[in-house]
Structure 1
Amino acid sequence: MTVVSVSMPDELLERIDEFSEDHGYTGRSEVVREAARNLLGEFEDRRLEGRKLMGVVTVLFDYETTNVEEKMMNLRHEHEGLVASNFHNHVGDHNCMELFVLEGSLEEISTFVGKIRATQNTLTIDYSVTPVDSFDPLADVESS
């Protein structure tokens, strides 16, 4: 097996070590390997390919890291056809939350989420994807 050197903040390394111990992993390498497999497989769901999807992406960051807010604004403009809605809110004393509602293909949403994940100084990034191509809001009304 190839050994890879990865840089990360001490706090993240401590969290990985604690997670490893709490969940019975043999060490941090096993946790990082599993995380990498999950990340790489996350958008490989064949049932979502070729379908129209809605995605919700939530990003939390410290309001003093203006580069994150600027990057979020640039991504919104760069992916104007994908971003159906965008919401910015202040959370607590020092954080901002950016919420994106996306409408597009798996590839488009995956690219967008990847660019957000590549943004330095974010605290958390969370998202969900839902197929809407077969969603019929009138189906319940018609069958009643």
Structure 2
Amino acid sequence: MTVVSVSMPDELLERLDAFAEEHGYTGRSEVVREASRNLLSEFDDKQLEERDLMGVVTVLFDFQSTDVEQKMMHLRHDYEELVTSHVHNHVGDHYCMELFILEGELEDISTFVGKIRATKDTLSLDYSVTPVDRIDSLV
């Protein structure tokens, strides 16, 4: 097996080690391997391919110490055909939440979420995807 070196903040490393211990993993490498497999398979759902999808993406960040807000604005404009709605809220004294409503295909939504994941200093990212035809069948 190839050895890979990964840089991460001490706080994240401590959380990773605690998670491994609490959940019975043999070590951090096992946790990172499983997380990598899950991330890579996340949008590899054949049932969602070639279907119109609705997506909800929530991003939380500290606006005082980062430029994430500006990056979110650029993403919103770069993907204006995908982003059907957007909400920006202040949370507490120095946090912001971006809420994106998306409508498009799996590949485009996956790319959008991936770009947010790659944005340094986001504190959290949460999202869900629902096929539009599933919504139609509920009505």
Instruction: Quote how far apart the aligned CAs of 1:67 are.
Output: 1.3
Letter in 2 for 1:131: P
Q: Does 1:136 align with 2:128?
A: no
Write the deviation string for residues 118-143 of structure 1: whole angstroms up to 9, x where unpaired. Answer: 00011001111000134327x65xxx
Aligned to 1:106: 106
Contact 2:55 2:102 in 1 (8 A): yes
Length, aligned pairs only: 139
Aligned to 2:63: 63
Which stretch shows the higher mean deviation, 125-134 or 104-113? Answer: 125-134
Q: Does 1:36 align with 2:17?
A: no
Write the deviation string for residues 68-117 of structure 1: whole angstroms up to 9, x where unpaired. Answer: 00000000000000001000001112211000000000000000000000
CA distance in 2, matches of 1:66, 1:8: 17
Aligned to 1:8: 8
TM-score (norm 1): 0.93
Write the deviation string for residues 54-79 of structure 1: whole angstroms up to 9, x where unpaired. Answer: 00000000021341000000000000
Contact 2:66 2:121 in 1 (8 A): no
- Structure 1 vs Structure 2 CA RMSD: 1.2
Letter in 1 for 2:119: T
Aligned to 2:75: 75
CA distance in 2, matches of 1:66, 1:123: 11
CA distance in 1, matches of 2:136, 2:101: 19
Which stretch shows the higher mean deviation, 85-94 or 98-107? Answer: 85-94
Instruction: Quote how far apart the aligned CAs of 1:4 are.
Output: 0.1
Letter in 2 for 1:22: E
Identity of aligned residues (%): 74
- Show structure 2 runs of 5+ residues with no match: none
Instruction: Quote how far apart the aligned CAs of 1:53 are.
Output: 0.3
